[in-house]
Amino acid sequence: MAAGRESVTIADVARRAGVSPATVSRIMNGRFAGEDVVAERVRAAADELSYAPSPLARSLALGRTHAIAFVVPDLANPAFQSVLAGLSKTAARDGYRVLIADSGESPSEEPLLATEIRRRTDAIVLCAPRMPEDELAALVERLQPLVLINRGLPEGSGPSGAPSLRIDYRTGIRALAEHLHELGHRHLAYVHGPERSASNAHRERGLDEFARDHPDVRIDRIPAGAASDDGRAAAPRVRESGATAALAFNDLVAIGLIGGLREFGLRVPDDISVTGFDDIPLAQYLDPALTTASVPHADLGVVAWSRMHALIRGETPGEDVLFQPRLELRASAAAPRT
Amino acid sequence: MAAGRESVTIADVARRAGVSPATVSRIMNGRFAGEDVVAERVRAAADELSYAPSPLARSLALGRTHAIAFVVPDLANPAFQSVLAGLSKTAARDGYRVLIADSGESPSEEPLLATEIRRRTDAIVLCAPRMPEDELAALVERLQPLVLINRGLPEGSGPSGAPSLRIDYRTGIRALAEHLHELGHRHLAYVHGPERSASNAHRERGLDEFARDHPDVRIDRIPAGAASDDGRAAAPRVRESGATAALAFNDLVAIGLIGGLREFGLRVPDDISVTGFDDIPLAQYLDPALTTASVPHADLGVVAWSRMHALIRGETPGEDVLFQPRLELRASAAAPRT
DNA sequence: GGCGACCGTGAAAGCGGTTTCACGGGTGAC
DNA sequence: GTCACCCGTGAAACCGCTTTCACGGTCGCC
C-alpha cells in the first residue's frame, strides 16, 4: 500500500503502467499528446504508488529549483522579518520557496555566502547594507537574477543591472529632523547605524542637507549600530551631548536608547525626544509611542517578488522603486522643555 | 579568466588537471589518498577555473541537501520569527540552510505543503498548532527526521516518534490567572486563540484547573484568533462581558485588544487589566508594558536544531523539552478598581 | 624470482528526472 | 498500390556529482 522505505521513482510508475519513463514524465508535466487511456493508466499507477517526482532530480535536469534566496544582515530585526514575510507569502503563491541566510556575524563572508546560497536557488534577493560597492557590483554581475534591497548601483552600471528597491532614508530622516526643528529643538543627536552601512550613509546625507538649511541647529553624531543593544549602549553619550532630541538609526535603536535613557532617570519625551525609523509593527504601541518614519516593509517583500518573478521568466522587471517613508508623529517626540 | 556563461563542472577541472572526475571529487571531499602533487595540481585547476561544485548535483548523488524545512502557521508572528532566527543561525553554523513555508492561509493543505517541502530538504521542523492529531501522526511517520514545535504525540506513539519541544502553556496561563486572582480580580475573560489550536487547548486546560481551584472566579471565553487584529475585534465582547481582567491568547492578541479597548475609552490597567503570552521582544517596551508569560523562543529554535542535527547524524536526540514560561509582571495588569 | 596484498586511479554506474532523436505504424494523397 | 508525412512512443543521452569496482603497478615476503 504505502511506498516502501525507498522512495518510488518515475521508473516504478512507468513499469506499473507499462510505459516508458519518458511518457510518464510527459504526462506529469502536461506535455502529453497521446491517447487519454494511456494518460489515465499512468495517473492511476502514480496514485497507487503515491508517486511524487523528486524535486532534486527535477531541479538538476531542468536547471531551476523553484526556490529563491534571501540574504539579510540580521534576521532578528523586525523590519527584515516583515520583508521576508511579504516575500515568502507572495513567492509561495507562484510555487516558489525562500531559502534564508543571515549574514549577521560575518559581513566579510557575505559575498561567499551569497554565492553559495545563490547556487542552490534560481535567484537572490540581496539585502547587504554594509557591503562595499565594488564587491556589490561584482555580485550583481555574477548572481543574476538578483534584486537589491536598499542598495543601488552606481550610475551607468548598464541595463543588465539588478532591479533595486530602496527606501528614501535621506528624505525620511530629513523630515524627522524638520519635525524636531519645528517642535523647537536646536540641538540634535544622531545615533547612527553601523559604519559603512549604505543606508546609514543615506541618512547622514539627509541630515547634512537639513544642517545646511538650518545653520542654527547643532547635530552631534554618536556611534551605535542597528540593534536595540546598540541604542542602549549609546544612552550615556547621548545624555552627555546635552541634545534635546535624538534621531535614532532605526526603531530598534530608538527603543534601546529610550530604555537606556530611562536608566539615567531621563524621561522621554519630557526630558529628551527620541525618534526612530522603520515603524516596525509594534512601534505605535510602545511606551511612549514612537515617532518614526514608516516604511512598508511587507510591500517591499511583495514588490521584490514581483520583480524577481519577472526576471525569472525573462521579462523586463518593473522600474526601480524608491519607497517614500511616511512620518508617524507620536508621543516620543515633543517640544523641548523651556 | 572568469567562467563562461555555462558553469564550470567537475569534468572541466578534471580535464585541466589531467585527472579523472573521480579524483577531483575525492580531493574536493578529503577522501583522497594519493600524492600531494596531484592534489595540488587539482586544487590549482579548480581555483583557476573558480570551480564550485553544484549543490544540486551533490544533493542528488548524496541524498542529502544540507537544508532543512521550517513550517509555520504565520511568519508574521514575532514569536515564530524568533524561533526561526534561532534555528537559522545555529543551523547555519553547521552548514545547513533553512527553507521556509508559511502555511497561514490554508491549514487544510498543511500536510501537502509539509510533504512537498520536506522532499526538498533533509528534515523538517514542524509547527502546526491547528493540525488534527491523526494527520499529525501520519506526517510524523512519513516525514522523519522531524522535530515538532508545540505539539506532542499521543502516548505510546513508539520510540520512533519525533522529538517534541513544547511550551507549558497550561502552567503558564494558570500562573497568569493566579496572578490576576491575587491582584483581586474575580471576573476574568479569556480571549482565546484559533479553534482547534492545540496550544489554545493547553491554555484552556490550564484555565480549567484554575477554575476548579477557584470556584469564586468567573471566566468568560471570548473567541478571537492569534493575530493582533483578532484581539482588536474581540474588544467589544470583552467590554460587554464586564470582566475586570482579560487573559489574551498571546501578546499579539493582547496588543490588539488593548488598542481596541482604548477606542472605547477604556484604559489599561486602570479600567481593565490585560495579560499576554510569549513575551515577544518588544512586550516590555509597550504602553503599558505587558504582563505576560515569557517564552524563550530563540532558544526553542536553537534546541530544535540540536535535536535535528542529532537526528540527521543518526544519533539519538536529546529528550523532549517542556519549556517553562516565566512570569513577567509588568504594568498592564493591576488591581481592579474597587 | 614469483606470488599475493595493497594502493592509486579511472571507467562506469548510479542519483531521478527531462528531452532529444529515431523508429514504426497509421493515414492521406496521388 | 505506393509513397510521404505525421504522430505517439521509447531508447538513450544528459544534468553534475559520488562511489563502486576493477585494473595495473608496487611492494613485501618467502
Q: Are strands B123-126 and B67-72 parallel, antiparallel or unpaired?
A: parallel
Q: Gap from A40 CA to D9 C1', in Å? A: 16
The whole-angstrom separation of Cα B307 and Cα B125 is: 10
Map grid coordinates 547622514 to a residue. A204
Contacts A116 to B, Cβ<8 Å: 52, 55
Nearest alpha-carbon partner for A164 in A194, A127, A198: A127
Contact B60 A55 (CB under 8 A): no
Distance of CA A180 to the CA centre of its chain: 28
Residues 6 or more apart in contact with residue A259 via CB below 8 angstroms = A228, A231, A232, A235, B285
DSSP E strand stretches across chain A: 67-72, 97-102, 123-126, 146-149, 164-167, 187-192, 218-223, 245-248, 273-275, 292-294, 321-323, 326-328
Map grid coordinates 491547528 to a residue. B130
The domain locations on chain B are 5-62, 67-168+297-325, 169-295
Map grid coordinates 522505505 to a residue. A5
Q: Which amino acid is at B294?
A: S
The pLDDT value recorded for residue A133 is: 87
Q: Is B246 helix (H, G, I), strand (E, B) or coil?
A: strand
Average pLDDT value over all residues in chain A: 90
The whole-angstrom separation of Cα B98 and Cα A98 is: 8
The whole-angstrom separation of Cα A71 and Cα A88 is: 13
The CATH number of A5-62 is which of 1.10.260.40, 3.30.470.10, 2.40.50.100, 3.10.20.30?
A: 1.10.260.40
Region A231-248 average pLDDT: 94
Q: Do domains A67-168+297-325 and A169-295 have the same CATH topology?
A: yes
The pLDDT value recorded for residue B32 is: 74
Nearest CA to CA, how far is A256 from chain B (Å)?
9
Per DSSP, what are the bridge partners of residue A166?
A: A322
Per DSSP, what are the bridge partners of residue A220?
A: A189
CA distances from A337 to A183, A185, A244, A260, A334 (A): 11, 9, 8, 20, 9
| DSSP of A15-59 | HHHTS-HHHHHHHHTT---S-HHHHHHHHHHHHHTT----HHHHH
pLDDT tens for A176-212 read 999 999 999 999 999 999 988 899 999 999 999 999 9
DSSP B284: G
CB-CB: which of A67, A99, A285 is closest to B287? A285
Contacts A85 to B, Cβ<8 Å: 75-76, 102
pLDDT tens for A100-136 read 999 876 888 899 999 999 999 999 999 998 888 888 9
Contacts B120 to A, Cβ<8 Å: 55-56, 67, 97
In which band, very low, low, confident or very high, does the pLDDT at B1 lie, cut at 50, 70 and 90?
very low
The whole-angstrom separation of Cα A147 and Cα A166 is: 11
Asked if the model's pLDDT at residue A3 lies above 90, the reply is no
B321: its cell numbers: 523539552
CB-CB: which of B81, B259, B281 is closest to A285? B259
Radius of gyration of chain B (CA): 26
Nucleotides of D under 7 A from a protein CB: 7-12, 14-20
B159 touches B91 (CB < 8 A): no
Q: Is the CB of A61 under 7 A from strand C?
A: yes
Asked if the model's pLDDT at residue A247 lies above 90, the reply is yes
B197: its cell numbers: 489550536
The pLDDT value recorded for residue B6 is: 63
Among A122-126, A265-269, B188-192, whose mean pLDDT is lowest?
Answer: A265-269
> B240 in the Ramachandran plot: left (φ > 0), alpha (ψ -120 to 50) or beta?
alpha
Map grid coordinates 553619550 to a residue. A237
A65 touches A131 (CB < 8 A): no
Interface of B to A at Cβ within 8 Å reads: 52, 54-57, 59-60, 65, 67, 75-76, 78, 81-82, 84-85, 88-89, 92, 97-102, 104-105, 115-117, 119-120, 228, 255, 258-259, 280-282, 285-289, 298
CATH number of B67-168+297-325: 3.40.50.2300
Contacts A54 to B, Cβ<8 Å: 60, 119
CB-CB: which of B56, B258, B287 is closest to A59? B56
The whole-angstrom separation of Cα B19 and Cα B11 is: 9
Residues 6 or more apart in contact with residue B182 via CB below 8 angstroms = none
Angle, in degrees to the nearest 10, between helices A78-93 and A297-312: 40
Q: Is the CB of B21 under 7 A from strand C?
A: yes
Region A61-79 average pLDDT: 92
A207: its cell numbers: 541630515
Q: Give the other-Cβ count within 10 Å of B152's Cβ.
A: 18
Asked if the model's pLDDT at residue B235 lies above 90, the reply is yes
- The residues of the protein lying within 7 Å (CB) of strand D read A 18-23, 26, 32-35, 38, 57, 60-61, 63; B 6-7, 9-11, 21-22, 24-26, 28-29, 31, 51-54, 56-58, 60-62
Q: Which fold has domain A169-295?
A: Rossmann fold (3.40.50)
A135: its cell numbers: 564587491
The pLDDT value recorded for residue B160 is: 63
Contact B286 A287 (CB under 8 A): yes
Contacts A115 to B, Cβ<8 Å: 52
Contact B97 A81 (CB under 8 A): no
Region A4-25 average pLDDT: 85
CB-CB: which of A81, A84, A282 is closest to B282? A282
The pLDDT value recorded for residue B307 is: 94
- Which residue does chain B place closest to A117, by CA atoms? B97
Region A68-84 average pLDDT: 92
